[in-house]
Structure 1
Amino acid sequence: MTELKLEFELEKPELPIEIDRLIVSFFKAAIQNYSEELFEKLYTKEKSVLKKFTWSNYFPGAQFTSEKILLREKKFFINFSTIDLEELIHFYNAFSLIQGTNFHMTHNSMKLVSIRTQEMRDIKDTEIIVKMQSSLIVRRHDVSKNTDIYYSCEDPEFADIAKDNLRIFLQKLDIPMDISDFSITPIKTKKVVTKVFGRWVDGSIGIFKLTGSVELLNLLYAAGFGTRRSEGHGKWEIVY
C-alpha cells in the first residue's frame, strides 16, 4: 500500500480553525478539475457517498485560537491514503494537475508544492499498537430521527460503538470480512472536542491497541478507522 505526502505553502502562516472544510474544498476542486465523472461519483449531491480514503494533517509549531491555527512557518503537510489503488492514482493525477496553483481562502491562499509517494508498512501481526494522527470519531446514528450521538475513549460504550461503525463501513462498501475477533482498547488516550463541519463533537486521540485479522488491520491502515474519515479523522500510524 502507498500513501501520498502533500506539502503546501501559505501566503500567511495561518489557517482557519475549520481546517476540514478547507481541505475537503481543496480535494473537491482538484477532482473536479481532473474529472467531472469522478467528481460526480465521489461528491454527488443526490446521496451520501461513503469514501474509501482518509487523511491527516501536520502543522509545524501550531498554536490554536478560537478562530485560527497559527503556524511557525508558511507551510503545512497532509498524509493521504485509500484502500483503492485506482482511486489513489486518480487523486495523485488530480493533485499533480493543480500543483503550483494558488487556492484562495479568506484573506489567505495556499499552494500545493510537493507530492511524494511513500510505501506503508505491511502489517503481519493480529495485535498492534497505534497512535492516532487525527482524532478518532465514533458515533451512533439514529436513522429514524437523523441524529448522532458521539462517543469518546472515556465512554464505556466506546469500543462496542467503534466496532459497530466498522461493521457498517464494511457492509456499505460490500467488503465481506469477519470482524468477530476485532477489538480496540485505549492505552494512553485523551478525550478531545473537535469541530466537524461547524459542529463540536467528542473525539479521541492517543495510543490504542487494535486486534483483528491481518487483512482487516491492513485495510483499516489505509482507510482509517471510525467515522468522518474522509473529512480528516481516524488516520493512524503504527507504534509497534
Structure 2
Amino acid sequence: MRLQVLFHLNNPSLSAEYRRGFASLLKEAIKRGDSPLFARYYSRLHTLKPFTFSVFFPELAGNEGEYFKVGSKAILHFSTCSYEVGVSVYNGLLQIREFPLFENKIRFQNVFLKPRVSIVQDRARFKTMAPVLVNTKGDANWYLLPGDEGFEEGLNFSVQEICRTFLGIPEATVEFYPIAIRRKVIRHYNMHMQGFVGIFELCGQPEVLNLIYQVGLGVRRSQGFGMLELVQTASHKPAEEETHE
C-alpha cells in the first residue's frame, strides 16, 4: 500500500534533520488512527516497522548551513506491506491538519492512494526515492557502500531481518547489481551518515523483492531511508490508480 501526501509549509526554510520530523508525524498518525497498533510498534525499542517513507520538496533551492530552502510544498511518499498500518496512517493523517516541524509547521492538503504493483519475476530494477543505508554487522553506526568489504553481508542481514519478521522466511537473500549509483552523505540525529542513491537491480524470490519494494531496503527504513520505486520493466504489473481526498 502506497500513499502520496501533500503538505503546505508555513516557512520556506527547514532543518536538514527533517526526516525526524516526518517520522514523528507518522508516529502520531498511527497513534491517532489505531492506538493498539501504535502500542505494538512503539511500546518497545528496536521493533522492526513494516513501512518506509521519503519526502520530496518540489521547490527545493539549495541550503543555508544546516537548513534547506524548501519553498512552500512538501510531498510525503509512504509505503507499507501492512494494510492495517496503511489504513491507520491514512485515517490518522486526516485528523492532523497541522503539525510542528522543528521551527516550521506543515499543513495537510491532500492524500492519494497509489497504484498497487506486484513483481512477478526474480529480477527487478529499482531507483531510490531516499538514500539507502547499509551498516556492517557489529557496528550499527558504520555505513557501507556497494563495493566495500562486507556490503553484501550487511545488505542481506537487513533483508533477512525483514523477511523473517514480515514473511516468515528465515534465510532469504538477494543479489545486488549496481547500474548508476553514487554516494550521498546525510545528516540525521546529529550524525553524518553515508548512503547511496541511484539505480540498481536486485535478484531474489519475487515475494522477497515485493517486500523490499513495500518496506524499503537497508536500515533505518522507518526513519525515511531505503524507499524505492520500480523502473518500468516487464517484471511487474501495475494496477489502476485510485485517488482520495
Q: TM-score, normalised by structure 1?
A: 0.88
Match of 1:134 among 130, 134, 140: 130
Structure 1 counterpart of 2:120 = 124
Structure 2 counterpart of 1:206 = 198
Match of 2:58 among 60, 65, 78: 60
Q: Given the superposition, is the C-alpha separation of residues 66 and 159 from structure 1 closer, same or farther in structure 2, using an over 3 Å criterion?
A: farther
Q: How does 1:11-22 map to 2 (within 5 A)?
A: 11-22=10-21
**8 Å contact from structure 2 (residues 218, 226) kept in 1:** yes
**8 Å contact from structure 2 (residues 133, 195) kept in 1:** yes
Matches of 2:121 and 2:55 in 1, distance apart? 27
**8 Å contact from structure 2 (residues 3, 77) kept in 1:** yes
Q: Given the superposition, is the C-alpha separation of residues 43 and 233 from structure 1 closer, same or farther in structure 2, using an over 3 Å criterion?
A: same
**8 Å contact from structure 1 (residues 177, 216) kept in 2:** no
Q: Which runs of 5+ in 1 are unaligned?
A: none
Q: CA deviation at 1:170?
A: 2.2
- Report the 3-state secondary structure (helix = DSSP H, G, I; strand = E; otherwise coil) of the residue aligned with 2:195: strand
- Per-residue Cα deviation, 1:29-64 (whole angstroms, up to 9, x for no partner): 2223334323222222x4321100001111113123
- AA at the equivalent of 1:191: R
- Report the 3-state secondary structure (helix = DSSP H, G, I; strand = E; otherwise coil) of the residue aligned with 2:11: coil
Matches of 2:36 and 2:172 in 1, distance apart? 34
Structure 1 counterpart of 2:183 = 191
- Per-residue Cα deviation, 1:164-184 (whole angstroms, up to 9, x for no partner): 22112323446216535x211
Matches of 1:159 and 1:150 in 2, distance apart? 12
**8 Å contact from structure 1 (residues 57, 78) kept in 2:** yes
The question of 1:81 aligning with 2:60 is answered: no
Matches of 2:165 and 2:117 in 1, distance apart? 26
Identify the range of structure 1 (76-85 vs 27-36) with the bigger mean alpha-carbon deviation.
27-36
Q: CA deviation at 1:12?
A: 1.4
- Report the 3-state secondary structure (helix = DSSP H, G, I; strand = E; otherwise coil) of the residue aligned with 1:122: strand
Match of 1:230 among 222, 230, 240: 222
Matches of 1:124 and 1:35 in 2, distance apart? 32
Q: TM-score, normalised by structure 2?
A: 0.87
Structure 1 counterpart of 2:49 = 51
The question of 1:176 aligning with 2:169 is answered: yes
- AA at the equivalent of 2:9: L
Matches of 1:216 and 1:174 in 2, distance apart? 8
Structure 1 counterpart of 2:239 = none
Q: How well do the aligned residues superpose, as a CA RMSD in angstroms?
A: 1.9
Q: CA deviation at 1:96?
A: 1.5
Matches of 2:102 and 2:141 in 1, distance apart? 30
- AA at the equivalent of 2:89: F
Aligned length: 231
- Report the 3-state secondary structure (helix = DSSP H, G, I; strand = E; otherwise coil) of the residue aligned with 1:202: strand
- AA at the equivalent of 1:163: N
